[in-house]
Chain A
Amino acid sequence: MAKVIGQAIKRKEDPRLITGEAKFLDDIQLPNMAYVAILRSPYAHARIKSIDTSKAAALPGVIGVFTGKDFMDINPLPCAWQAGGVKNNVNTPRVLEPEKVTFTGAGVACVVAESRYIAEDALALIEVDWEPLPVVVDAKKATEPGAPQIHENAPNNIVMEWECGDAAAVEKAFAEAEIVIKQPLINQRLIPTPMETRGCAAMYLPYTDEYTVWITSQAPHVHRLLMTAFVFGIPETKMRVISPQVGGGFGAKIFMYPEYPLVAALAKKVGRPVKWQETRSENYRATTHGRDHITELEVAAKKDGTVTALRVHTYANLGGVLSTVAPGIPTTLYGRLLSGAYHIPHIYCKVWGVYTNTGMVDAYRGAGRPEATYVVERAMDLVARETGLDPAEVRRRNFIRPEEFPYAPADNILAGLKYDSGNYEPALNRALELAGYDEFRKQQAEARKQGRLLGVGLSSYIEICGIAPSAWIGLPNQGWGAGLWESANVRVHLTGKVVVTTGSQNHGQGHETTIAQVVAEELGVSVDDVIVQHSDTLGTPFGYGTYGSRSAAVGTVAVYNSLQRIKEKARKLAAHLLEAAEEDIVYEDGKLFVKGSPDKAKTIQEIAAAAAIGYSLPKGMEPFLDDTAYYDPPNCTFPFGTHVCMVEVDPETGAVQILKYVAVDDVGNVINPMIVDGQIHGGIVQGVGQALTEGAIYDENGQLLTGTMTEYAIPKASLMPKIIQDRTVTPTPVNPLGIKGAGEAGTIAATPAVVNAVVDALSHLGVKHIDMPLTPQRVWAAMQRN
Chain B
Amino acid sequence: MFAANFDYYRPATVAEAVQLLSTKENAKILAGGHSLIPAMKYRLAQPSALIDIGRIPELSGIRVEGGKLRIGAMTTHAAIAASADVKAHCPLLAEAADKIGDQMVRNRGTIGGAIVHADPAADYPPNLLALGGSVTAVGPNGSRTIDFAGFWTDLFTTALAPNEIVTEVTVNGYGKGTGGAYADLQHPASGYIVVGASAVVTVANGVCSKVSLVIGGATPNPVRASAAEAALTGKAPTAENIAAAAALAANGISNPIGDSFASGDYRVHLAKVLAKRALTQAAARAQ
Q: What residues make up the interface of A, taking CB atoms closer than 8 Å to B? A: 37, 116-117, 120-121, 124, 279-281, 652-653, 655, 692-693, 697, 705-706, 709-716, 719, 775-777, 780-781
Contacts and interface: CB of A to CB of B under 8 A. Distances in A.
Interface string B180-203: 000001011110100000000000
Nearest to A709: B189
A706 B189 CA distance: 10
Contacts of B4: 120-121
Closest 3 CB pairs of A and B: A713-B189, A713-B188, A279-B1
Contacts of B43: 120, 124
Interface in B255-281: 259-263, 266, 269-270, 273
B23 interface: no
Contacts of B269: 780
B185 A776 contact: yes
A614 B77 CA distance: 71
Given A121-B4, A705-B259, A719-B188, 12 more contacts: A116-B2, A120-B43, A281-B1, A653-B273, A655-B185, A705-B260, A713-B188, A716-B188, A775-B261, A776-B266, A780-B266, A781-B266
A710 B189 contact: yes
A782 B108 CA distance: 40
Nearest to A689: B188
Contacts of A719: 188
Contacts of A120: 2, 4, 43
A777 B189 contact: no
Nearest to B273: A652
Interface in B6-58: 42-43
Interface in B189-245: 189-190, 192
B185 A653 contact: yes
Interface residues of B, number: 22
B5 interface: yes
B1 A711 contact: no
Contact of B42 (A124, A281, A697, A713): A281
A124 B185 CA distance: 38
Nearest to B4: A121
B270 A653 contact: yes
Contacts of B262: 775-777
Contact of B2 (A117, A280, A713): A117
Contacts of B192: 710
A712 B189 contact: yes
A711 B192 CA distance: 10
26 contacts: A37-B2, A117-B3, A117-B5, A120-B43, A279-B1, A279-B2, A281-B42, A652-B273, A653-B273, A655-B185, A693-B189, A709-B189, A711-B260, A711-B261, A713-B187, A713-B189, A714-B189, A715-B188, A775-B188, A775-B262, A776-B185, A776-B262, A776-B266, A777-B263, A777-B266, A780-B266
Interface string B72-109: 00000000000000000000000000000000000000
Most B CB contacts (10 A, CB to CB) among A697, A777, A780 go to: A777
A563 B189 CA distance: 48
B5 A121 contact: yes
B156 to A, nearest CB: 15
Contacts of B190: 710-711
A713 B194 CA distance: 14
B100 to A, nearest CB: 14
Contacts of B266: 776-777, 780-781
Contacts of B189: 693, 706, 709-714
Contacts of A713: 187-189
Contacts of B270: 653
B277 to A, nearest CB: 8
Contacts of A124: 43
A117 B43 CA distance: 12
A280 B1 contact: yes
A706 B188 CA distance: 12
A275 B124 CA distance: 42
Contacts of A655: 185
Nearest to B276: A652
